[in-house]
Structure 1
Amino acid sequence: MRKTSSRTSPARVRRRRLAVAVVVAGVVGASALATGSASSHGYVSTPPSRQDLCANGTVTDCGDIQYEPQSVEGPKGFPAAGPADGSICSGGNARFAQLDDPRNGQWPATQLTGGQTYDFTWTFTARHATTDFEYFITKNGYDPTKPLTRAELQPTPFLTVPYGGKPPASNTITQQGVIPSGLTGKHLILGVWNIADTGNAFYSCADVQF
């Protein structure tokens, strides 16, 4: 009578390992899709935002944000909701806390003039269904040596661009607005990209000088 070996053949072991790898990959992929973390993202590139300056090497010692400037995602509903005061520029993400660091007011700033028409540019690595884009700016008296708070921002956006649930048409878009008049010194513009089909938004802070 022919004996059956208790040892599993190398070919069978390889097939089992392959099957396990496929299952694990499927679980990881499904998890990423469920959280949305694999497909996020965009940031203000004109005027250069803090994450843009870190990504292009103009500013150093930025931590993780230099590798993924598009990932500053946090709860939407700003200013009634959203990231806490002091962590607005990072979207409330501790990984990107360098964006909230005022660097003693030494972030490079783009020169602007009150009343001028200006083209704001967003750069995307993924384009989501969009409610709108909003742009807030600080009040006179803003202290660029301290982390941003709501109290230092004008309460309503100076520019809102509605999208009605549609995604941006390309990986870069330009939106034209008028810079508020009457501002002097250094200020901060906060761009907020409100996503239509999730509870999140993307935040982007750009330093400017009047």
Structure 2
Amino acid sequence: MRKKIGAAVVGLAVTGATLLATGSASSHGYTDSPISRQKLCANKTVSNCGQIQWEPQSVEGPKGFPAAGPADGQICSGGNGQFAQLDNPRGGAWPATKVGSGQNYTFRWQFTARHRTTDFKYFITKPGWNPSEPLTRAALESQPFLTVPYGGQQPPATLSHSGNLPQRSGRHLILAVWTVHDTANAFYACSDVQF
């Protein structure tokens, strides 16, 4: 009997350690319109992505962006070292979604764990930003161009909402932030776009 209990305790400890090492038992969410860097990795559109290719929904970090949240240079990974490949600008060569300046665009999130939600915010890089450098707050407009309040509700498995893109030309990056209502975290998704 002691051997069976001991084996069960060891099994639970291994399971717990595995969950701690990978983040959490359930996953969360990512954007696929415009397609995010983590989804490009999961689709194998880009290579050398590391762990994020198996869990594109897990880019979770502290909420409160831009006053708080991930450090500059670690924004696309949500400050998670295990997803640092998302912060690598790859010489400005991430595949980019073609969009129109001032266009009404439909943003889409896919959720694998539907947390109660405060809001969704979308930031964009300033004119003249350098796409070959890691993303910093100084490279982004200080205010989101779109905020979608969600009032603590739980989103469906797929959620779309629309808003007008700012006037831009050339290559830019859109940072989508999903603020979880009842935890200290948010989810981050960087999408490269070409106007």
Q: TM-score, normalised by structure 2?
A: 0.92
Partner of 1:175: 161
Structure 1: runs of 5+ lacking an equivalent: 1-14
Task: For residue 163 of structure 1, report the CA deviation from its aligned partner.
Answer: 1.1
Instruction: Give the alignment of 1:15-54 within 5 angstroms.
Output: 15-24=1-10, 37-54=24-41
Partner of 2:178: 193
Percent identical: 64
Instruction: Give the alignment of 1:27-176 within 5 angstroms.
Output: 37-169=24-156, 171-176=157-162
Letter matched to residue 97 of structure 2:
T
Q: Which string of whole-angstrom CA distances, capped at 9 and with x for unpartnered residues, describes residues 26-65 of structure 1?
A: 56777859xx722241111111100000000100111111
Partner of 2:192: 207
Q: Which string of whole-angstrom CA distances, capped at 9 and with x for unpartnered residues, describes residues 106-160 of structure 1?
A: 0000111111111111111111011111111111011100000001111111111
Structure 2: runs of 5+ lacking an equivalent: none
Task: For residue 184 of structure 1, report the CA deviation from its aligned partner.
Answer: 1.1
Alpha carbon RMSD of aligned pairs, Å? 1.9
By percentage of residues, which structure has more strand?
Answer: 2
Q: Which has more radius of gyration? A: 1
The DSSP-based 3-state class of the residue aligned with 2:31 is: strand
The DSSP-based 3-state class of the residue aligned with 1:20 is: helix
Letter matched to residue 104 of structure 1:
G
Letter matched to residue 70 of structure 2:
P
* Distance change (3 Å), C-alpha of 1:58 and 1:30: closer
Measure the CA separation in 1 of the matches of 2:15 and 2:183.
19
Q: TM-score, normalised by structure 1?
A: 0.86
- Count of residues paired in the alignment: 193
